[in-house]
Structure 1
Amino acid sequence: MEKKELKEMSFLDHLEELRWLLVRSTVAILVFATFTFFVSDYIFDVIIFGPKSPDFITYRFFCDLSHQLGFADSICVTEMPFIIQNIDVEGQVNILVWTCITAGFILAFPYILLQLWNFISPALYENERKHAKLFIFIASSLFFLGVLFGYFVVVPMSVNFFATFKVSDVVQNQFSFDSYIGMIKTSVIASGLFFELPIIIYFLTKLGLVTPQFLRQYWKYAVVIILIVAAIVTPPDVVSQLIVAIPMLVIYEASIFISSIVYKNQQKRDGQLS
């Protein structure tokens, strides 16, 4: 099946479609942000400040794992020696607004993907455009899985590391509200977007910008980068770094596999057309 003729729409028409994509996506984010505003107490007290408590589910999991491995309380979290303070007059208001917008973006992500799919689908083959629901389901699932990974793995490890790290006992950890929230938002959103790597590689391969050979060639560099990232966001122990690095390596390997499938299919299609 041939692709839909892109000449049916001018460059300005494409810009208009892109503008409406952004408008509809922004409206969806604001709608969900408004909803999260009414449950902001739960978002802050339970979700955002959850990793600040030694009873957080991730800390309890590692403590139980430590006991089962015979390490006693070596990786148990018993206290969080830091406080969070607001140092700006309008700080809490700004953080409330931007936290709701961030939550709105996360909740609206499937709708944003739908708008993105409608924008790029004319450039796809007819049989590919039929997979819209599958694309949205897989891409959304990967994003939400990445968000959960960021929140339950990356965030608590980062919070625990920075809470207990001291250059001297003279210095007390008193984190600003803005920096604490920023770390959580960055970890969660970055993890969610990283888990979209297979989807991104799929389209880059279709566009001819990436090949499986290229991804394999730079595999060792990707491993080094992933290990460096894992070392930065986790405490300085091998177990924690592996817990963060292994899922990221799996995602990268899955991207190579997907790129290989797309590349082979394109080679077959080009061979049939020739």
Structure 2
Amino acid sequence: MSEDNKLVKAIKDKGKNLEAEMSFFDHLEVLRGHLIRSSIAILIFAIAAFVYFDWIFDTLIMGPSKPTFWTYRAVCTLGNWLHRDMCFRTVHFRLINNEMAGQFILQINSALLIGVTAGIPYLLWELWRFIKPALHDKERKAASGFVFYASLLFFLGVLFGYYIITPVSVNFLMGYTVSPSIENMPTIDNYLSSVATLTLATGLVFELPILIYILATMGIMTPKFMRASRRYAIIIILIIAAVVTPTPDMMTMTVVAIPLYVLFEVSIIVSARVEKRREAKLNEA
């Protein structure tokens, strides 16, 4: 090859590299726009939560510590129907603040947590808008309900964590003492972090079918493997339920483990549908 041809080839290769680099940076610019809009939406929700913080703190954050909380009343009513004493003896405790700006930071952190939680659907929608152009028509149709189902599962998990796991954990931990001379007085940031962790973590755990759908689409997870691993999955689910619920009774752990197992079975169905769709494409090819 002559020197002129080598030079022309090098210029063309350099042009292709520059075009690829420009395309990459263009994608980053588009992603930045989606992230900025998502941040603005979360900020709007956070500002609204900051303004109405009195109601949020008394009703939502401190709800699991009050005997009038929905979960306690529902369980007590169920116990009356079964002629059993199932009423929760809610523990009255005091929150303390050992930092000068502790209560102000509490309001800011609470508002941000509410903003992130409420802004999850919009964040997922912006993520879907970013990914959608790279998908084929069939892939778009297959994943058209991504935002709806991911948001639905997340909020179902949040509700389950808030109304089931959190009150049981708060009732047990705040009532547990090793000596009558020790009084439980958690700090406000410790109480908020505990409620937020139990609630949001459960919301993320409920995204398991979405995760399995993505892994099955990539060919990493198959229904055959999941069915073969069912017994190990049950053990892992029981361990997670035991860790999430610090109460010693089996009843509470079972209440937490059942929805997790249902999610696992739903994930198997999702994986099987993805594999069936992939086999149909191969047969068409």
Q: TM-score, normalised by structure 2?
A: 0.86
Alignment of structure 1 residues 1-274 onto 2, 5 Å: 10-72=23-85, 75-130=86-141, 134-234=145-245, 235-273=247-285
Runs of at least 5 residues in structure 1 that lack an aligned partner in the other structure: 1-6
Query: 2:153, 2:206 within 8 Å by CA — same for their partners in 1?
Result: yes
Report the Cα offset of residue 138 of structure 1: 1.8
2:7 paired residue number: none
Query: 2:216, 2:222 within 8 Å by CA — same for their partners in 1?
Result: yes
Find the residue that maps to 2:186 and give its secondary structure: strand
Residue identity opposite 2:283 in structure 1: G
Rounded to whole Å, the distance in 1 between the matches of 2:180 and 2:231 is: 40
Query: 1:198, 1:258 within 8 Å by CA — same for their partners in 2?
Result: yes
Residue identity opposite 1:147 in structure 2: V
Residue identity opposite 1:40 in structure 2: F
Query: 1:143, 1:196 within 8 Å by CA — same for their partners in 2?
Result: yes
Report the Cα offset of residue 35 of structure 1: 1.3
Rounded to whole Å, the distance in 2 between the matches of 1:120 and 1:218 is: 32
Rounded to whole Å, the distance in 1 between the matches of 2:151 and 2:22 is: 29
Larger Rg: 2
Report the Cα offset of residue 67 of structure 1: 2.8
Residue identity opposite 2:103 in structure 1: Q
Residue identity opposite 2:39 in structure 1: T
Query: 1:117, 1:132 within 8 Å by CA — same for their partners in 2?
Result: no
Task: Identify which of structures 1 and 2 has the higher relative contact order when contacts are C-alpha pairs closer than 8 Å and 6+ apart.
Answer: 1
Residue identity opposite 1:27 in structure 2: I
Find the residue that maps to 2:215 and give its secondary structure: helix
Find the residue that maps to 1:173 and give its secondary structure: coil
Report the Cα offset of residue 131 of structure 1: 6.1
Query: 1:157, 1:233 within 8 Å by CA — same for their partners in 2?
Result: no
Residue identity opposite 1:247 in structure 2: P
What percent identity do the matched residue pairs reach? 45
Query: 1:150, 1:187 within 8 Å by CA — same for their partners in 2?
Result: yes
Rounded to whole Å, the distance in 1 between the matches of 2:22 and 2:206 is: 33
Find the residue that maps to 1:236 and give its secondary structure: coil
Rounded to whole Å, the distance in 2 between the matches of 1:200 and 1:255 is: 9
- Give 4+ residue runs of structure 1 displaced > 3 Å after superposition: 130-133
**Structure 1 residues 217 and 19: CA distance shift in structure 2, 3 A:** farther
Query: 2:66, 2:92 within 8 Å by CA — same for their partners in 1?
Result: no
Report the Cα offset of residue 198 of structure 1: 1.0
Cα offsets for 1:117-166 (capped at 9, x unmatched): 11222333203324666322222111111111111011101101101111
1:3 paired residue number: none
Count of aligned positions: 265
Q: TM-score, normalised by structure 1?
A: 0.89
Report the Cα offset of residue 28 of structure 1: 1.1
Residue identity opposite 1:65 in structure 2: L
**Structure 1 residues 40 and 132: CA distance shift in structure 2, 3 A:** farther
Report the Cα offset of residue 191 of structure 1: 1.3
Question: Over aligned residue pairs, what C-alpha RMSD do you find?
Answer: 2.0
Rounded to whole Å, the distance in 2 between the matches of 1:257 and 1:166 is: 45
Rounded to whole Å, the distance in 2 between the matches of 1:153 and 1:89 is: 33
**Structure 1 residues 194 and 231: CA distance shift in structure 2, 3 A:** same
Cα offsets for 1:50-98 (capped at 9, x unmatched): 11112211011122222333332xx322331422111111111112112
Rounded to whole Å, the distance in 2 between the matches of 1:24 and 1:127 is: 28
